[in-house]
Amino acid sequence: MTTAVREPVKSERRNLVEMHWDPITRIVGNLGIYTKIDFDNREVVECHSTSSMFRGYSVFMKGKDPRDAHFITSRICGICGDNHATCSVYAQNMAYGVKPPPLAEWIINLGEAAEYMFDHTIFQDNLVFVDWCEEMVKATNPSLLAKAEKAEAPHAKIHGFRTIADIMRAFNPFTGSMYLEALQVSRTTREMICLMEGRHVHPSTLYPGGVGTVASPQVFSDYFVRLLRTLDFVKRAVPLNDDLFDFFYQALPGYEKVGLRRTLLGCWGSFQNPAVCDYDYRRMTDWGRAMFVTPGVVVDGKLVTTDLVDINLGIRILLGSSYYDDWEDETMFVRQDPLGNPVDRRHPWNQTTLPHPQKRDFDGNYSWVMSPRWYDSRSDQLLALDTGGGALARLWSTALAGIVDTPFLKATGSSVKMVLPKSAKFPEMELEWKVPKWANTIERDRARIYFIAYAAAMAVYFYEQAMIEVRAGRTKTFSDFDVPENAIGCGFHEAVRGVLSHHVVIRDKKIANYHPYPPTPWNASPRDVHGTPGPYEDAVQGLPIFEENGREGFKGIDIMRTVRSFDPCLPCGVHMYLGDGKTLDVTHSPMLGLGG
């Protein structure tokens, strides 16, 4: 079984140079990339991805009150902590059998939409684009910069930059105009998060059962005026990104192969629809499909499922190159899901994590990240899914599913159409993201900017829905609940950079097992026990080098662009640990987690 899109490269009789980048900067968390490069043939032959930090979340969650889970797990991530808090609240809602009032769901959707807008903006424009800016291109591809100086930008009338080089200059760090504007936009959008969720990055007003946000008209007007102010930026940013990326395809033939891997994308869905969602596992297929970002798994360009139950049962956590001992003989917490389906021993509900710090050995164990895979029952394969940096998988899954249909956003089966209303400088504008030919570095980056438009269009819709509730006097934001003696729960959400799941097992009203699986373990995973490399490794191995520098002065820019296109967030990657404390003897059938 292989998930690589290219044939494995034979490394004998090649002149290989070992090069590493550790730490990778302009990401969140600790990541190192170790490669072997064939400069004669301008190709990366081998890649290992490693993380050098371990914190150990699940151990200190074990035995704690399950209502503390979202406060604690928010602290897993410093840029998308609110995604974790939200996902944990979803899992708790299932475990407690509580359905929040509709207004609470609209408030969370508004907060999360703002999070996508903030996070994608700051990551794209202030972190990723430093790799595409004039200063960098001058250092890595001077002849390309010369071409860019002469290349007219097709959408100059909209974004105001005459040439592609002008666009590149606009992203020079701390001096470029788009760089500085994006920092400001990332603040306005974070203010929007603070209005709905209290704080960024660890929210204060989210609870199982709803939110504490004061749902007066004021909080929504404060949000909406900021959203409108941001629309001008979004309307410029999308065509500007198109111009820059299309230029790369055009000016560097073959650049589509940079970061290319087989299309293996996972999306766990985002934005609950309160008209359908009741958090009952037995109806999860239906309410999952009602989400305003459709969950799905895309294999070789085809949507193989949109069913959250399928998605849930297919998750497998493998070892192979990670600093942990195996848990084959440990407690099975959940043998069947509430629908009676068998649950695998390698599923997060049944994971026991046994850390074993050791020296780094690239022929053995070399990372604190584990290797999550998704079992595709149709092909009997364990797929190393990636998230495409989040946006690519969300757009791809939603587009193919063709389910989402709102006044501002429609999935067509092959594209997503978004309508952004009139704003100060631009009239109403329709943008369309079309399923691309490749899952590669450029398309991951391009999708990110389109998803900002997606989130903005949905935010307009969520605002209108929230105001319908407020104007009708339905301002309750919280439903009370009791913590059951025993229960299980799972939450599915999209962290900004991709799939996010939280699995909880409650025994005696305490957490017996809790395993969050954020996007980065999927993307940054090392080789698994079957030898399948993780997505970063897979995308970098065989990567053609376009950088003009030879071995001396080599920056590895094409590698850096590729790794960053996945939006690495390593605190999300490494947090799992369940100590070898009390073993829970489970002889009864698993609780369904439905009601008290």
Partner 1 sequence: MALTGDGTRAQPASNGVKELHVLWISEGMSCDGDTISITAASQPSIEDVLLGLVPGLPKVHLHNKVLAVETGDDYMVPFWKASRGELETPFVLVIEGSIPNEKIDGDGYWTGLGVEPSTGQPKKLTAWIDELAPKAWGVIAVGTCATYGGIHAMAGNPTGCMGLADYLGWGFRSAGGLPIVNVPGCPVQPDNFMETLLWLLYQAAGQAPTIPLDDALRPTWLFGKTVHEGCDRAGYYEQGDFARDYNSPKCLVRTGCWGPVINCNVTKRGWMNNLGGCPNVGGICIGCTMPGFPDKFMPFMDEPPGAVLSTTVSTSWGSVVRRLRTITNKTVTLEPKWRHNRPELTTGFNPRYMNRGGDQR
In the window 338-367, what residues touch partner 1 (CB under 8 A)? Answer: 355-360
**Interacting positions 476-535 with partner 1 (CB under 8 A):** 476-478, 480
* Rounded-to-10 torsion of CA 51, 53, 59, 60: -140
Which region among 159-167, 184-192, 241-249, 443-451 touches partner 1 (by CB under 8 A)?
184-192
Binding letters toward partner 1, positions 138-177, x by CB under 8 A: -----------------------------------xx---
Concatenated DSSP letters of 205-255 = SEETTEE-----HHHHHHHHHHHHHHHHHHHHHHHHHHHHHHHHHHHSTTG
Which region among 74-82, 333-341, 436-444, 521-529 touches partner 1 (by CB under 8 A)?
74-82
Task: Note whether 30 binds partner 1 by CB under 8 A.
Answer: yes
Q: How far is the CB of 124 from partner 1 (least distance, A)?
A: 14
- Could you tell me which residues come within 8 angstroms of residue 464 by beta carbon, excluding any fewer than 6 positions away? none
Supply angle C-alpha 72, 186, 178, rounded to 5: 150
Task: Note whether 332 binds partner 1 by CB under 8 A.
Answer: no
Q: How far is the CB of 327 from partner 1 (least distance, A)?
A: 15
Q: Which is nearer to partner 1, 287 or 517 (CB)?
A: 517
Straight-line distance from the first to the last Cα atom of the chain, in angstroms, rounded to the nearest whole number: 44
Task: Note whether 554 binds partner 1 by CB under 8 A.
Answer: no
- How many Cβ atoms sit within 10 Å of the Cβ of residue 362? 15
Q: Is the peptide bond before 201 cis (omega within 30 degrees of 0)?
A: yes
Size of the site for partner 1 (CB under 8 A): 84
Q: Taking every pair of C-alpha atoms in the chain, what is the biggest distance, in angstroms?
A: 75
Q: How far is the CB of 439 from partner 1 (least distance, A)?
A: 24
| Identified binder of partner 1 from the candidate list 340, 581, 585, 587, rule CB under 8 A | 581
| Identified binder of partner 1 from the candidate list 186, 321, 352, 440, rule CB under 8 A | 186
| Identified binder of partner 1 from the candidate list 55, 282, 283, 335, rule CB under 8 A | 55
Q: Which is nearer to partner 1, 109 or 322 (CB)?
A: 322
Distance (Å, rounded) from C-alpha 573 to C-alpha 368? 8
Extract the tokens encoding 305: 């499922």
Q: How far is the CB of 320 from partner 1 (least distance, A)?
A: 17
Q: How far is the CB of 368 from partner 1 (least distance, A)?
A: 9
Instruction: Yes or no: say if 318 and 530 are a contact pair by the CB < 8 Å rule.
Output: yes
| Identified binder of partner 1 from the candidate list 205, 387, 525, 565, rule CB under 8 A | 205
Residue of 524, 527, 516 whose CA lies nearest to 566 = 524
| Identified binder of partner 1 from the candidate list 191, 278, 286, 464, rule CB under 8 A | 191
Task: Note whether 52 binds partner 1 by CB under 8 A.
Answer: yes
Task: Note whether 229 binds partner 1 by CB under 8 A.
Answer: no
**Interacting positions 420-479 with partner 1 (CB under 8 A):** 476-478
Which region among 72-80, 154-162, 276-284, 522-530 touches partner 1 (by CB under 8 A)?
72-80
Q: Which is nearer to partner 1, 284 or 569 (CB)?
A: 569
211 to 82, 235, 372: CA distances (angstroms): 13, 32, 32
Distance (Å, rounded) from C-alpha 273 to C-alpha 106? 8
Extract the tokens encoding 276: 């359908």
Which region among 152-160, 198-206, 438-446, 530-538 touches partner 1 (by CB under 8 A)?
198-206
Give the position of tokens 């504007």: 181
| Identified binder of partner 1 from the candidate list 38, 43, 181, 222, rule CB under 8 A | 222
Give the position of tokens 């609940």: 481
Which region among 73-81, 251-259, 333-341, 496-504 touches partner 1 (by CB under 8 A)?
73-81
386 in helix, strand or coil? strand
Pairing of strands 264-267, 296-299: antiparallel
Task: Note whether 577 binds partner 1 by CB under 8 A.
Answer: yes
Residue 33 phi/psi, 5° resolution? -120, 125
